Amino acid sequence: MMRQYELVERVKRYNPSADEALLNRAYVYAMMAHGNQKRASGDLFFGHPLEVAAILTELKLDEATIAAAVLHDTVEDTEATLEEINKTFGPQIGALVDGLTKIKRLDLVSKRAAQGENFRKLLLAIADDVRVLLVKLADRLHNMRTLQFMPPEKRKRIAEETLDIYAPLAGRMGIQEMREELEDLSFQNLDPEAYEAITRHLREVTAKAEKLVEEIERDLTAKLQAQGIVAEVSGRQKRPYSVWRKMERKSVSFEQLSDIFGFRIIVGTTDQCYRALGIVHTTWPMVPGRYKDYISTPKQNDYRSIHTTVIGPGRQRVELQIRTDEMDQVAEHGIAAHALYKEGVNDNSRLANESRAYQWLRRTIDLLAEGDNPEEFLEHTKLELFHDQVFCFTPKGRLIALPRGATPIDFAYAVHTDVGNTAVGCKINGRVAPLLTELQNGDEVEIVRADGQTPPAAWESLVVTGKARASIRRATRTAVRRQYTGLGRQILERAFERAGRPFADDKLKGALPRLARASLEDVLAAVGRGEMFSGDVVRAVYPDYKGGDGMVRSDKPNGGGKDGSGDGASSGIPIRGLNADMPIRFAPEGGAVPGDRIVGILTPGEGVTIYPIQSASLAAFDNEPDRWIDVRWDFESGPQRFPARIKLQSINEPGSLAQIAQVIADHDGNIDNVNMRRRTQDFTDVTIDLTVWDLKHLNAIIAELRAKRVVSRVDRVTG
């Protein structure tokens, strides 16, 4: 266990002016508070916060963060109180300890939905001070280092959670060294056999390639020095999890991997980075497509470096990273390498201006206000945590960073939610392209928009960014709610009309407390979904009303419209087909067409299903009069086909089906589906789903089919 003076010395090495008295007070206070508490390993519990503090000293964090790390378990696991911490160590350390205490109280190792909610709380807890996250990551790293003392089932759950959330979070904060160790420890616990096999292979490869690595280091150093560039060149082996992930992604064996080793070139200035790149490329052949410049376009976690791959000595593929020492510090320690912490100043506004990683964190936290459920939020955030990036541009030159595999739809939502919601097309590098095109680095994307457009719900499964998915899902919900609200209003207007009472929004608003709804829109949507009966609303607005439900089955359902069929064409909710502004569908067994006398059946959560009045399926709703809705046809929206079904018996001879299809085609009918079943040796039952303009059109097709010699009988199916 680390001694008191060792902790102080660790901090003093990188911060000679550190508050030694503060560190001593924190050490003694935590040691006294934890006393003889033990961990699962049998070691003194106090050793854990000291190890967390030691990890943070490697990141060279300020003494306030180190003190908070030493104290982070005291409020939760000892008799210490937050008031004591504030009084003894000041409000800044108190706030850090409070944030860490809230996080520890979360049961993150739980069901998916609960895990999503707790992840939201975790991000909210670090919203005020990102140092809370840094301490939490260090806490998780030490817990992973000692995970072998936990029961197997719990060990697996913690490792999965670390791989899903904490390792990617460390990566997004730019702390690559910590991310890699968290990934390897998780991999080791989740798949120990694969981990051991890859580790064994790596040891064997390292032993064989030791001389080659030294040769490449010497050659690179000499080439650069000959051009006046002093550089530190070092080779490093890839980590086990990184190797395994590449094998999985590319479906290759270990022996097929040609880039087990990578080399890092550290130079003095940015100018020397590009000079070193020129020297490397003029000395060895470059592998096409393997050059990336993260200096001119840094990653969102502030990572800056030049990546390239060349065919080096011995015809070996050599991966190179070229960066300055300052870039290397940020690459390894990320947001923790920021000068702000070395100064011991807590100013998140300054940090936000200087750190892309912190800006990403703030944007992610902003998503919490968008109203997605916890499981969706976890899914969206994990999508953004895992993906590598591509960099694209707007026509005005604005740089947009997106996950690899992103489409112009993702791009549109990254620009602005309204741009995504109204997108109808795009141009990539000046050429019209599908909205589902996978974007490449350097693409210039122009989004074509149309006012009043609503994003199709199918887009949700096609995009890769969390923001796009959340926005599409939200827009879809809004559109559906608007449909149900419109349907609910029409149902209520007719219910009040039947009751002989006036309908008005202000009267309905006055009845909201009796209806247990917060707004007028909530009432309308609930009626439209079938969650609330219209008669209950009438009685809530007019308590003296003693009539029926107000939404009862009509003795003479309307079938009217401009085709003149049916009676009372002016009453009933107008039906304009599947493109209507209300959630409707047609009877699944036979459909309905204009000219039919129709009735609507309200299904909670699904809208209205339209049936012909002669449909046998309506008998199933005889005991549910509250679900019957008076509807009528309305063709103001223009011509549209409607679904119908016919059943016929055909003579079993060659060409009979072709003759039937030809009749339908000649009459401008459209076949959606055909089902055939051999009735006898001579006859076949044929069921055809088709779409027609109206009842007259359907009857013409049926009459023509009956006239065919190959058809012995044909009838319409009405369910």
Residues involved in catalysis: 76-77
Strand boundaries in 452-595, DSSP class E? 573-575, 584-586
Give residue 555's identity as a one-letter amino acid code. D
Locate 454 and state its tokens: 């609503």
Q: Are strands 306-311 and 317-324 parallel, antiparallel or unpaired?
A: antiparallel
All residues at 6 or more sequence positions from 342 whose CB lies less than 8 Å from its CB, including other chains: 14, 15, 60, 62
Rg of the chain (C-alpha set): 35
Contacts of residue 193, defined as CB under 8 A and 6 or more positions apart, other chains included, come to none
In degrees rounded to 5, what are phi and psi of residue 148?
-65, -15
The closest of 585, 649, 640, 590 to 614, measured between CA atoms, is 590
Amino acid (one-letter) located at 389: Q
Q: What is the DSSP letter of 594?
A: B
CB atoms within 10 A of CB 246: 15
Short-list 304, 320, 301, 323, CA closest to 312: 320
Residue 19: what residue type? D
Partner residues linked to 683 by β-bridges: 651
Edge-to-edge order in the sheet of strand 423-428: 431-433, 423-428, 445-449
β-pair type (670-678, 642-651) = unpaired
Q: Beta partners for 612?
A: 598
Show the tokens assigned to 537.
């609303």
Answer for the pair 450, 443: CB distance below 8 angstroms, yes or no: no
At 554, list the tokens: 């009509």
Amino acid at 483: Q
CA dist list (Å): 616 to 567, 584, 603? 22, 20, 17
Is 460 buried (19+), middle (13-18) or exposed (0-12) by CB count in 10 A?
middle
Instruction: Report which DSSP code applies to 596.
Output: B
Rounded distance, CA 587 to CA 395, Å? 48
Reduced to 3 states (helix: H, G, I; strand: E, B; else coil), residue 378 is helix
DSSP string, 518-543: SSHHHHHHHHHHTSS-HHHHHHHH-T
Phi, psi of 402 (to 5 degrees): -135, 160
Three-state DSSP at 16 gives coil
**What DSSP string describes 397-459?**
--EEEEETT--HHHHHHHH-HHHHHTEEEEEETTEEE-TTPPP-TT-BEEEEE-TT----GGG
